[in-house]
Chain A
Amino acid sequence: MNLYTELLGLSPVGVLVLAQIVLFVQDLVKEGKRLSQYISAAALAVSCLLSVYLASSGNTVSFANSTFVFNSLAYYFGVIFSLSALLVMLSAGSFLSRAEYAFEFSSLAILGVLGSFFVASSTNLVALFVVFEMATTATYGMVAYARRSKLSAEAAIKYFVVGAVSAGIIIYGISLIYIATGSVSISSVFSVASQSSQLLDVGVILLIVGFGFKIAAFPFHMWLPDTYEGAPYPATTYLASVSKVMGFAALVRIFLVMGPAIYALGGLNWEVIFGLLSILTMTFGNLAALVQTSMKRMLAYSSIAMSGYMLIGLALGTSFSYAVLLYFMLTYAIAKAGSFIVAQFFESEHNAKSIDDYAWLARKSPLSAFSLTIMLLSLAGIPPLSVFVAKFFIFYASVQVGGYWILLAIAGVLNSALSLYYYARVIKNMYIGLAGESPPPQGARLERIGYMIPILTCLVLTIALGLGEGTVIAVAKHAVTTLSATVF
């Protein structure tokens, strides 16, 4: 491997490290809230484009004695991480201009992406845990960023305590696996000491529980609504996109490689666990979202429900279902981040917090209301929008596998129908107001460009990814096969 390909392969991470250094230097030299935002956004954009290129070109680069291997899968996740973080940074302008310290937020956001990037590329459970915690720690800081706000502090504390507990559970799980197999590497070939297959199974279950915290699978989700609601909007967007996808990245990384061996050696039917969690999570998320009055909280519960759909991809465990899961995460992250950004804009512009406050907003801010409509419809699963395509393929995958797995598709379809209710309520309020209320007199206001850039990016991607799903799924399939074919 020559130096050039190695440098190119590490460049998405390298750009971020460089940006981190530049940010610190810039803060020392001249404090500028705008400048740090621009630097981080530019670095994330470059990193995203490099990842897109590398994910499709199929480079593989090892790093640190093969503890981290950057391959198509890692780059694919890298695209999601850096793109979502870019959206967060683009939309964070007005939040940062009011914050006391601006540059740390940018720095934390990049740190989180860096950690997530490494999670997606680690080949060792302990290394994975370390970088996972690195990314998580960055998000603790972001949640607590509005530290004078009681809500933000409470959100951060809850998030931190539950996060710490699950970190403990993960490390316990890893240690049990180590005892059982004598190895911590993520490998498709390993052996189990005699009489200790149960140890392996318990270890794996603990891993599922620990990472289940991050992806907010029922019943490990309880921190999520409080934290999402209390955290400042950019942090919430970050949690819902970067942080959640990182949890899935860890699970995909582990189960795509180790899954078959775990079943063969330990006899643990981990696919059934994911299936069970999937149905519980989507049903719970949707039911709870149904009765919410606050927009932010409704979006929080809907993101729990989305985790449920995505868990189907893990539960099926076929290479097609993994590929669809990858596509799903991309579409989900964009639609969800977009919805949160519009919600943030509406809160700052129209002081709209509850769903009832959204009445007639389409008249005041038509473009962002339209974007929110498209993204909510996408989340609800309306063709031809991107999340619909993802849902369709994931349900199709479960039908393809057949047997009891079809139940997952049935549950998913029923839940999607249910979810349309609460998404449609928001859309209805925006366009035709509340029953018995006349429309407001004032016309449309010019929508703020700082918000419109990320919102329109999400809008375009939500539509374009739905129409051009073929290319993305092809790349995702390629990423999945490279990883499952590689023996570490």
Chain B
Amino acid sequence: MASFAELVWLVPIVPLILSPFPIFAGDKLPRKGSFVAIFACAVSTVISAGVLLTLPSHPYNVSVQWLLPGTATSIDVGFYLDGLSALMITITSGIATLILVYSLEYMSHEEGLPRYWTEMMIFTGSMLGFALADSVILMYVFWELIGACSYLLIGFWYTKPEAASAAKKAFVLVRVGDVGFLIGMILLYTNGHTLNLPAILSSPATLISSPQMRTIIALLVFAGAIGKSAQLPLFPWLPDAMEGPTTVSALIHSATMVAAGVYLVARLYPFFQVAPYALLVVGAIGALSAFVAATMGLVSFDIKRILAYSTMSQLGYMMVALGVGAYGAAMFHLMNHAVFKAMLFLSAGAILHATGARDLREMGGLLKKMKVTGLAFLIGGLALSGIPPFNGYFSKDLIIGAAYHYGLVTGDFWIYLLVLISALLTAAYIFRAFFVAFILPPRSGATKEVHEVSLTMTIPMIILLGFTLVTGWLWSPLMDVFQPFVTYAASLGATPQAPSYVGLLTLAFALTGIGLAYLVYIRATVPPERFSSGRVLTKLRNLIMRSYYFDAAYDRVAAGVENGIALALDYFDRFALDGLVNGIGRSLVKLGRDFKSMETGEIRNYVAVMVIGAVLLILLFEVL
């Protein structure tokens, strides 16, 4: 009997193969080809789920020789199926399907829908291919496809200047990291002579004997992950990417693009383990990103941007988990985060759909009018804050516990401190958003009648809500089926456990965060305006609101580099090239005129030239 594992190649292929249908035939298909997209992703989901449930005990690998066949350094491409990739494709295809169903209603009034469906299919298919790829080069191919699709989707409303520039920004900043990944891949190939995952994962230390080289490669690959997962310092594209449709944001932020960075590190984790200092860098970047993003989430007024910063912050948590050796916890958080973040984004999308507002200050009192949306946002917020029994609690608790354990072992507690404080900030910013948007009465009188969105949009939210309640229990005091499942190599090790008081402290911090938000916004014990008065606070607030001046710095650097290059090019163009070209052009034209003047129209001259030519040829070749 054919097992599901043998069908796994269909998972990325179906969306990719069917992707041309909407854009080429969308106008003739019902609902612009949306059903093709949903059908393709649903097929992927069913197969992925089947694969996940009937996973063979050994990794399943099919590959074909692609480049340099028949040589010792041939490059194979194919699919590699184990617990990790099976989990990833299930998350991706499942969430993508729900988001596509949601888009049916959410995007229904947009122009260019066939384009939207096609791009979403390629985006999802690329992510699935990335997760399943069995060689680094194939991963890179899909990695770039993900980047290209994100550009197209973020810039879906390309006539809006903000959307166009956000798409450009996302593409360029992510590319900076991609270059690192590319160089890392080339170094891996030139030093290790293979790009096949099984070979790299089985004995990474013998593959490349020099530890320095291993660290260099690991850090270069991690640069790619920084770009895709929007970690410090390549994060500014993420909040700007909110200019795309909310469904796109939901997909990017839950299961596709940003998850790709974490997945890349997780996939190559055995390699990172034998690269000295590499995991330290991963953890440090993750902790700093988690903290910085949480502070930025606290001061933003745009509900989608708040969610974007929270994504960056939560990805920071995953990086921390990877950095401190809690590989299983990182993947656990990846899954849980994908579920609740997709739900939060869909909820924000529903608000946007119903009210047309993204700014918190234009919202208020929505809970009464939009019960399902409000509930989804509340549950998502609780999960994000790490409140039991929602799934975020279980994974976050594991990560912070592992960070504490890491501190005990190495004596370095600052990673732990950063993620602990971030937990407080996280709870504070998400509940600030919840209270302002859903509980507090609207600031200006409600001018628009607001209704709950239709079933097409609420059902995906409800399904995700169910998962938020469920997935956390997969690795809980009750049972632990998750960690053995994703642990694909013995070297990965079990996630270190911390004493239970650490967990209680984390919970206390999270509750304090919610409590602070409650005090400031609901009880108004300390009115929020207080935070924007006073010199120190104003300065701090400005610093955070300007994204710690990263944007400004990038702009300056870009402008400087651009101006410098432009100036040099202009100089070169004007004086060297133009002079040269014009000079050549002018002298050629002059030469042409001279030649033209040879044409006297006098036939005796013509014959004379001809005879002289003949004589010259004879002289040249016979006499001389």
Chain A residues 254-270 with CB under 8 Å of chain B are 268-269
Q: A222-B609, A287-B588 are in contact. Are A273 and B599 (CB under 8 A)?
A: no
Known: A222-B599, A269-B621. A291 touches B607 (CB 8 A): no
Q: CA A218 – CA B595 in complex, angstroms?
A: 11
Type the 1/0 row for A133-166, where 1 means its CB is closer than 8 Å to any CB of B.
Answer: 0000000000000000000000001100110011
Cross-chain contact of B607 among A157, A161, A284 (Cβ < 8 A): A161
* B540 within 8 A of partner (CB): no
A220 at the interface (CB under 8 A from B): yes
Q: Is B621 touching A198 in the complex (CB atoms < 8 A)?
A: no
A219-230 to B contact mask, C-beta < 8 Å, 1/0: 110110110000
- Judging by beta carbons under 8 Å apart, are A290 and B605 in contact? no
Q: Is A205 an interface residue (CB 8 A)?
A: yes
By the criterion CB–CB under 8 Å, are B617 and A287 in contact? Answer: no
The CA-CA distance from A131 to B588 in the complex, in Å, is 40
Q: Does A242 contact B (CB under 8 A)?
A: no
Question: Scoring A residues 269 to 290 as 1 if CB is less than 8 Å from chain B, else 0, what string do you get?
Answer: 1001100000000001001111
A284 and B611 alpha carbons, distance in the complex (Å): 18
A214 to B157, CA, bound (A): 62
Q: Tell whether, in the assembled complex, residue B588 and residue A208 are in contact, meaning their CB atoms are under 8 Å apart.
A: no
Identify whether the interface residues of B are mostly helix, strand, loop, or mixed. helix
List 5 additional contacts besides A273-B617, A289-B592; criterion CB under 8 Å. Answer: A162-B610, A206-B618, A209-B610, A288-B592, A292-B596
Kindly provide the distance from the CB of A184 to the nearest chain B CB, expressed in whole angstroms.
21
Q: Given A219-B612, A220-B613, check contact A205 B622 (CB 8 Å).
A: yes
Q: Please indicate the chain A residues that have their CB under 8 angstroms from the CB of B614 in the complex.
A: 169, 205-206, 209
Q: Shortest distance in angstroms between A334's beta carbon and chain B's nearest beta carbon?
A: 27
Q: For residue A158, which residues in chain B have a CB less than 8 angstroms away from its CB?
A: 603, 606
Q: Across the interface, which residues of A come within 8 angstroms of B607, CB to CB?
A: 161-162, 165
* Cα distance A198–B618 in the bound complex, in angstroms: 10
> Is B593 on the interface with A (CB-CB < 8 A)?
yes
Residues from chain B with a CB closer than 8 A to the CB of A157 are: 603
CA distance A202 to B592 in the complex (A): 32
User: Is A22 part of the contact surface with B, judged by Cβ < 8 Å?
Assistant: no
User: Is the CB of A213 closer than 8 A to any CB of chain B?
Assistant: yes
Q: Per a CB cutoff under 8 Å, which of A161, A225, A290 touches B603?
A: A161
Interface residues on B, range: 20 to 34
B345 shortest CB reach to chain A, Å: 47
**A residues within 8 A CB of B606?**
158, 161-162, 222-223
From known contacts A201-B621, A205-B617, infer whether A290 and B592 are also in contact, taking CB-CB under 8 Å.
yes
Known: A162-B606, A219-B610, A226-B601. A288 touches B596 (CB 8 A): yes
Which residues of the other chain, A, contact B610 by a CB distance below 8 angstroms?
A: 162, 165-166, 209, 213, 219-220, 222
Does the CB pair B588–A268 fall under 8 Å? no
The reply on A171 being an interface residue by CB < 8 A is: no
The reply to whether B595 and A284 contact each other, CB–CB distance below 8 Å, is yes
Are A209 and B603 in touch, CB under 8 angstroms? no
Contact B621 A162 (CB under 8 A): no
A159 to B: closest C-beta gap in Å: 10
| Contact digits for B461-489, partner A, Cβ 8 Å, 1 yes 0 no | 00000000000000000000000000000
| Docked CA distance A218–B599 (Å) | 13
Q: Mark A185-209, 1 if CB is under 8 A from B, else 0.
A: 0000000000000100110011011
The smallest C-beta distance from B190 to any residue of chain A, in angstroms, reads 31
Enumerate chain A residues within 8 angstroms of B613, measured Cβ to Cβ. Answer: 209, 218-220
Q: Cβ of B588 and Cβ of A418 under 8 Å apart?
A: yes
**Does B589 sit within 8 A of A, measured CB to CB?**
yes
CA distance A157 to B592 in the complex (A): 26
Residues on A with C-beta less than 8 A from B591 are 287
> Once bound together, how far apart are the Cα atoms of A165 and B605, in whole Å?
13
Binding site secondary structure of chain A:
helix
Contact B603 A162 (CB under 8 A): yes
Q: What are 23 pairs between A and B in contact, CB < 8 Å?
A: A158-B603, A161-B606, A162-B606, A162-B610, A198-B622, A202-B622, A205-B621, A206-B618, A209-B610, A218-B613, A219-B610, A222-B598, A222-B599, A222-B606, A222-B609, A226-B599, A272-B621, A287-B591, A287-B592, A290-B588, A290-B592, A291-B592, A292-B596
Instruction: Tell whether, in the assembled complex, residue A208 and residue B589 are in contact, meaning their CB atoms are under 8 Å apart.
Output: no
How many angstroms between the C-alpha atoms of A166 and B613 in the bound complex? Answer: 12
Q: A273 to B619, alpha carbons, bound, how many Å?
A: 12
Residues of A within 8 A of B622 (CB): 198, 201-202, 205, 268
Q: How far is the CA of A287 from the CA of B609 in the complex (A)?
A: 19
CB-CB contacts below 8 Å: A267-320 with B: 268-269, 272-273, 284, 287-292
A209 touches B617 (CB 8 A): yes
Chain A residues with a Cβ under 8 A of chain B: 157-158, 161-162, 165-166, 169, 198, 201-202, 205-206, 208-209, 213, 218-220, 222-223, 225-226, 268-269, 272-273, 284, 287-292, 418
Residues 7-47 of B, flagged 1 when their CB comes within 8 A of A and 0 if not, give 00000000000000000000000000000000000000000
> How many A-B contacts at CB < 8 Å in the complex?
76
How distant is the Cα of A226 from the Cα of B618 in the complex, in angstroms? 27
Cross-chain contact of B618 among A162, A205, A223, A269 (Cβ < 8 A): A205
Closest residue of chain A to B607 (Cβ to Cβ) is A165
Query: B596 touching A291 by the CB < 8 A rule?
Result: yes
Measured between beta carbons, the chain B residues less than 8 angstroms from A201 are 621-622
> Please, how many angstroms separate the alpha-carbon atoms of A166 and B588 in the complex?
31
Residue of B nearest to A219 (CB): B613
Q: How far is the CA of A124 from the CA of B592 in the complex (A)?
A: 40
Residues of B within 8 A of A218 (CB): 613
CB distance from A236 to the nearest CB of B (A): 17
Q: How far is the CA of A121 from the CA of B613 in the complex (A)?
A: 29
Contact between chains at A287 and B598 (CB < 8 Å): no
Chain B's closest residue to A204 (CB) is B621
Cα separation A420 to B598 with both chains bound (whole Å):
24
Q: How far apart sit A287 and B601, CA to CA, in the bound complex (Å)? A: 18
Interface pairs A-B: 5 shortest CB-CB: A291-B592, A219-B613, A222-B606, A209-B614, A287-B592
Given A162-B607, A222-B605, A223-B606: A287 and B618 within 8 A (CB)?
A: no
Q: In the complex, what's the smallest C-beta–C-beta distance from A14 to chain B, in angstroms?
A: 37
> In this complex, what residue of B is CB-closest to A210?
B614
Beta-carbon nearest neighbor of B591 in chain A:
A287
- Chain B positions 570 through 601: 1 when the CB is less than 8 Å from some CB of chain A, otherwise 0: 00000000000000000011011101101101
- A223 CA / B612 CA spacing, docked (Å): 15
In Å, the complex CA distance between A291 and B611 comes to: 27
A223 to B606, CA, bound (A): 7
Structural contact, B603 and A268, CB atoms closer than 8 A: no
Residues of chain B lying within 8 A (CB to CB) of residue A222:
598-599, 605-606, 609-610
Contacts of A225 in B (CB 8 A): 599
The CA of A202 and the CA of B614, in the complex, are separated in Å by 10
A269: chain B residues within 8 A (beta carbon): 621
Measured CB to CB, the closest approach of chain A to B619, in angstroms, equals 10
Q: How far is the CA of A222 from the CA of B596 in the complex (A)?
A: 10
A158-B606, A166-B610, A219-B609 given; A291·B617 CB < 8 A: no
Bound-complex Cα distance A223 to B621 (A): 25
Chain B residue with the shortest CB-CB distance to A217:
B613
Provide the bound-state CA to CA distance between A218 and B613, in Å.
Answer: 9
Output the nearest chain B residue to A225 by Cβ-Cβ distance: B599
**Chain B CB within 10 Å, residue with most, of A169, A269, A288, A292:** A288
Q: How many angstroms between the C-alpha atoms of A375 and B610 in the bound complex?
A: 31
- Give B604's nearest chain A residue, CB to CB: A161
Residues of B within 8 A of A226 (CB): 599, 601
CB distance from A226 to the nearest CB of B (A): 6
Q: How far is the CA of A290 from the CA of B610 in the complex (A)?
A: 23
Nearest Cβ on chain A to B591's Cβ, whole angstroms: 5
Contact partners of B612 in chain A: CB under 8 A: 219
Q: Is B595 a contact partner of A288 (Cβ separation < 8 A)?
A: yes
Residues of B with C-beta under 8 A to A166: 610
A222 closest partner in B (C-beta): B606
Which residue of chain B is the closest to A199 with respect to CB atoms?
A: B622
Chain B residue numbers with a CB within 8 Å of A198 are 622
Cα A209 to Cα B603 with chains together (Å):
17
From 31 to 84 in chain B, residues with beta carbon under 8 angstroms from any chain A beta carbon are: none
Which of B599, B607, B614 has most chain A Cβ within 10 Å?
B614
